[in-house]
Amino acid sequence: ILRWRQCLEMPAETKAQLSPECIDFLSCLLAGPESRIGSSKNGGDFENGFKQVVQHRWYRDFDWEGIRELEGPLLPSGAREFSDMLVYLKTCPKSDPRFKPLVQRVTQNF
């Protein structure tokens, strides 16, 4: 985005729907590399960018330890059955008429 410092603006109606913590987080992301959250500070040594991001107050109540147990907001079709299909695919003989459709289903999102 060219001239983003002069042109980038959050619409008032959008800003009114966001928490102050969210607005601050977005401001930390939408900044120059010298002050952007997760980037090096003042051209010095790189700091742990991920740690800076997850420690931001917008994520204050987020359970980072339990993130792997959460279901994603946008799951591709067949995602819930994927593990079961893989297990079955390992034991299904290639001669089985269900083998080819099963492979197609397992690989449909790749």
Q: What pLDDT, on a 0 to 100 scale, did the predictor assign at position 39?
A: 81
Q: How confident is the model at residue 14 (pLDDT cuts 50, 70, 90)?
A: very high
The pLDDT tens digits of the residues spanning 54-90 come to 899 999 999 999 998 888 888 887 788 888 988 998 9
The pLDDT tens digits of the residues spanning 19-58 come to 999 999 998 888 888 788 888 665 555 567 888 888 999 9
Predicted TM-score (pTM) of this structure? 0.59
CA 34/CA 68 separation, integer angstroms:
32
Q: What pLDDT, on a 0 to 100 scale, did the predictor assign at position 47?
A: 64
CA 102/CA 99 separation, integer angstroms:
5
Lookup: tokens for 30: 């939408």
- Which residues neighbour 72 within 8 Å (Cβ) at sequence distance 6 or greater? 79
Q: What pLDDT, on a 0 to 100 scale, did the predictor assign at position 3?
A: 80
Region class of 76: left (phi > 0), else alpha (psi between -120 and 50), else beta: beta
